[in-house]
Structure 1
Amino acid sequence: MALVDRIGSGLWTSVAVLYFTYVSRLSIAQVGTLVAVAGAIGIAGAPLGGRMADRLPITRVLPAIQLVRALASFALLTTDNYVLLLVFSAVGSLGDRAANILTRLYATRVAGPDRVRYQAVQRTVANAGWAIGGLVAAASLAGDTVTAYQWLLAGDALSFIASALLTLRCGEPPSSSSTVATSKNPGPRPRPANPWRDRPYLAYVATETVLFLDDAVFKVGLPLWIAHASNAPHGLAPVLLVLNNVMVVALQVPLARFGTTTAAARRLLVPLSAAFALGGITMALSATGSPVTATLLLTASAIVFTLAEMLHATVSWELSVALAPDTAQGAYLGVHGLAQSAQRSFGPLAVTAAIAIGPIGWTAFGTIIAVTCMIQHRLVRDTLSRAPLSVPPVTVSEN
């Protein structure tokens, strides 16, 4: 399911800007505004998806969301009207964020105490799907025809339909809230906790927003830094993106074994802090050397930031669930999903600011995230000491 979904996303995401430019004939300003507005509206998809998951079966809600995404993608093929393109893109973005949360919650409920490893496998498969979709898109655009763009968009829509059909074949996992309701102590069902009134969890989500900035490093920071401030060849940028993808596919599952309990995940925040700081330093140093030195330092920075990305994914999967009460996991994970969604809006601004300042900017960038890691380390300790874990720490067997 994740593979099919991400192959479709890889087909479209890599060419979306080009489609709006060459097929829909939008100006650069129009494309930029469309992407920004659609992304901003999409932020609401995470809490919306989480709320629905606490009230309705995931295996029914998720296919419905996938069909909405498919309709939005097909609708883009029917018009060049700017307002309609913006509306359809916003609907697709809203569905994308909701589907991400629903997929993650499904994996959490199915895997139970094995959730970290399960999520690692799913992320590996998703990255492979992105790579396959991107390669197909690159090959399809060799002729640079309007038809090729249209078929890629249609392929994206068809992938959502296929994913919906696959989801319908899956069994509904038991939710913690339903378990509570049918326990040996009958009575009124307790009112689910409200994440918007849970200040410690909101503070945790705020720190997560900063830690997700590694995403902007690869999508915006590295390419722009290579093009404008380093002596490395411009062709290094796509190579480092491939390196990032390959490392995630190869190492995400093995690294997940170091964060299979809440305590272990919290301890990973210390090396994660060091990785972010080192990544910022190597980026800064890459502007001061020869082309060979710059290439080596940028490669080292890409490796370190990729390690940080994988460690943070492992930590985030465990802590976001462990800090949430059983009766409202969907709502809490929906709020947690806002961190990544919000980062997509301000992340590019943060890395472009670092680039504008220069080497010191990258050093400050890495240092700020490193300090945030340690703030989260303290915050999680204090939160867990005040309340019982939603899921008891369980050491996952290596067999």
Structure 2
Amino acid sequence: MSATPTPDTGTLPVIQPDLDDASAASDEATATESTHADRPKLFRRILGSLADPVLRILVIATLISRVGRGIFLTVTVLYFTLIVGLAPHEVAIVLGAASAAGVLSSLAGGWLADRTSAKRLLIVLSIVDGIGLVCYVFAHDFVTALVIAVLVGAVEQAANSTRMAIIARAFDGESRVHARAVLRTVTNVAIAVGSGIGAVALLAGTADAYRWIIVGAGVMYLAGVTQLVRLPAYVDAPKRVATEAAVITTATGSTDVAASARAERRARRAHSPWRDPRYLALSALSAVFGMQFGVGEVGVPLWIANDTAAPEVLVAVVLILNTTIVVLFQVPLSRGTHDLRRAGRVSALAAWLMAAACLVYAAAAGLPAGFAAAVIVTAAVTHAFAEVLSQAGGWGLSFELADPVQAGTYQGVFSMGYSLGAMVSPLFVTSTALTFGFGGWAILAVVFLASGLGTWAIARAAAAKAALPQPT
């Protein structure tokens, strides 16, 4: 419903700003909050957060670029069908291929962020992303649309992983999860604004209107780059990611370059997420729970239109409800989820809420229009809070359970899981809920409950292990 994170849609810190600067920033944030005490608490917290230079830059860049994303999301499917002339199955192939490309690029983006400047990488990827969106105006058939969509999908997910690596290094503890929550809130606001702008093309209905609005979306992406160039150097990985990498010397005292390189590669492998079964399990379970976005984006609209008596306009109402709840509650409900036990409890609560939402959605079938609409709204509100809580718990665990030596690679693996979930969720949702009705919704409820409680079990075990005395 809201932008999938990539979940719109970090790890552990390696380098932090000077503590005096951080203290000054905190003081400034406190002063700002007291000065604007009459403002709503949510916006006071966000404004206070902007005292941090990295978060301020990311928020402004996100606000600009995601308006462009909202524009594009609004017109994409209709542009492909009405202007380019693609058949519905061709549109599905194009969008599915773009998601598939994002699976591998998520991992590649995080991997590169550990081995090159994450700042420069994010700038380059954002520029290519903006140019790629503009290139959609040159799509005139299935093949060109497919090529452009795959490129844009791959670059978009690589940029998301890089951004997560930057957050992992620039913040620590609760401030990391808070930064993700603020950025997701801003993303939803910006996409809502962009959707309103995109409606202009829908009202005009001409090919030129669609193409000019898509060019505008690409330009908004490129405009966001003007902020990214101001990111400080400490968002990059250290020169040597393996902090204890050996420097091997010969008997004469000279450095054995080849042996040192081999030692560093061994150190990198030792810190690889692929050798961390706990993190792989977390990523897999988060990917499964991430299919709840497919429920909102595919399952609920089709369920309303084909299997209930509720009016189709309810699809828009559900979208607005979801966006509103994310904007209002993502920041406050994310507080404290850097703590492993709290992140686990939040994930468990999200699991029960999502399971309940599935069963309530199912109950709308066969009811009169008014009752069906009320039931669907109830389910949508429950679903939205499950989404907010699952994101908060997932962010906290993805940061805290990762090895700080390879922040980008760990976040790439976590993001790749979400990309896999996004790729398979439309098929999974349609083959369960939309095929078997109540029984299919019950299957979804069990899947979400199992994945959420599995995440809770991982968090609880990790917290217990962390509480044990460490050998000296």
Q: Could you state the TM-score of these two structures normalised by the residue count of structure 2?
A: 0.78
Structure 1 residues 74 and 376, CA gap change in structure 2 (3 angstroms) = same
| Residue pair 1:177, 1:328 contacting (<8 A) in 2 also | no
In structure 1, C-alpha distance between the alignment counterparts of 2:172 and 2:415, rounded to whole Å: 19
In structure 1, C-alpha distance between the alignment counterparts of 2:330 and 2:443, rounded to whole Å: 27
| Secondary structure of residue in 2 paired with 1:169 | coil
How many correspondences in the alignment?
A: 389
Aligned CA RMSD, in angstroms, stands at 2.3
* 1:29 matches 2:107: no
Residue 279 of structure 1, CA deviation: 0.6
In structure 2, C-alpha distance between the alignment counterparts of 1:232 and 1:181, rounded to whole Å: 57
In structure 1, C-alpha distance between the alignment counterparts of 2:457 and 2:92, rounded to whole Å: 39
* 1:173 matches 2:234: yes
In structure 2, C-alpha distance between the alignment counterparts of 1:88 and 1:52, rounded to whole Å: 22
1:325 to 403, 416, 422: 403
Larger CA deviation: 288-297 vs 50-59:
288-297
1:14 to 68, 74, 80: 74
Please tell me the residue identity of whatever aligns with 2:149: S
Residue 134 of structure 1, CA deviation: 0.6
Structure 2 residue aligned with 1:84:
144
| Secondary structure of residue in 1 paired with 2:335 | helix
Larger CA deviation: 4-13 vs 16-25:
16-25
1:107-165: per-residue Cα shift (whole Å, max 9, x none)? 23222221111111110000001101111101332110111110121112112211222
Structure 1 residue aligned with 2:318:
240
What aligned pairs does 1:134-173 form with structure 2 within 5 A after superposition?
134-173=195-234
| Residue pair 1:177, 1:326 contacting (<8 A) in 2 also | no
Please tell me the residue identity of whatever aligns with 1:374: L
Residue 384 of structure 1, CA deviation: 5.4
Structure 2 residue aligned with 1:365:
444
Structure 1 residues 177 and 265, CA gap change in structure 2 (3 angstroms) = farther
Structure 1 residue aligned with 2:37:
none
| Residue pair 1:58, 1:172 contacting (<8 A) in 2 also | no
| Secondary structure of residue in 2 paired with 1:300 | helix
In structure 1, C-alpha distance between the alignment counterparts of 2:461 and 2:338, rounded to whole Å: 20
Structure 2 residue aligned with 1:118:
179
| Residue pair 2:168, 2:407 contacting (<8 A) in 1 also | no
Residue 225 of structure 1, CA deviation: 0.8
In structure 2, C-alpha distance between the alignment counterparts of 1:120 and 1:334, rounded to whole Å: 19
1:196-253: per-residue Cα shift (whole Å, max 9, x none)? 2322221221111111122112111111111111121111111111110011111111
1:63-89: per-residue Cα shift (whole Å, max 9, x none)? 100111122222222341432321111
Structure 1 residues 18 and 196, CA gap change in structure 2 (3 angstroms) = same
Structure 2 residue aligned with 1:395:
none
Task: Name structure 2 gaps, 5 residues minimum.
Answer: 1-60, 249-259
Structure 1 residues 52 and 205, CA gap change in structure 2 (3 angstroms) = same
Q: Which has the larger radius of gyration?
A: 2
| Secondary structure of residue in 2 paired with 1:142 | helix
| Residue pair 2:241, 2:406 contacting (<8 A) in 1 also | no
* 1:108 matches 2:168: yes
1:333-359: per-residue Cα shift (whole Å, max 9, x none)? 101101211112111112212121111
Task: Name structure 1 gaps, 5 residues minimum.
Answer: 390-399
In structure 2, C-alpha distance between the alignment counterparts of 1:180 and 1:138, rounded to whole Å: 46
In structure 2, C-alpha distance between the alignment counterparts of 1:313 and 1:69, rounded to whole Å: 25
* 1:70 matches 2:95: no
Residue 14 of structure 1, CA deviation: 1.7
Residue 282 of structure 1, CA deviation: 0.8
* 1:210 matches 2:288: yes
* 1:264 matches 2:342: yes
* 1:354 matches 2:433: yes
| Residue pair 1:177, 1:327 contacting (<8 A) in 2 also | no
In structure 1, C-alpha distance between the alignment counterparts of 2:357 and 2:336, rounded to whole Å: 21
Larger CA deviation: 311-320 vs 377-386:
377-386
Q: What percent identity do the matched residue pairs reach?
A: 30
Structure 1 residue aligned with 2:379:
301
Residue 270 of structure 1, CA deviation: 2.3
Structure 2 residue aligned with 1:2:
62
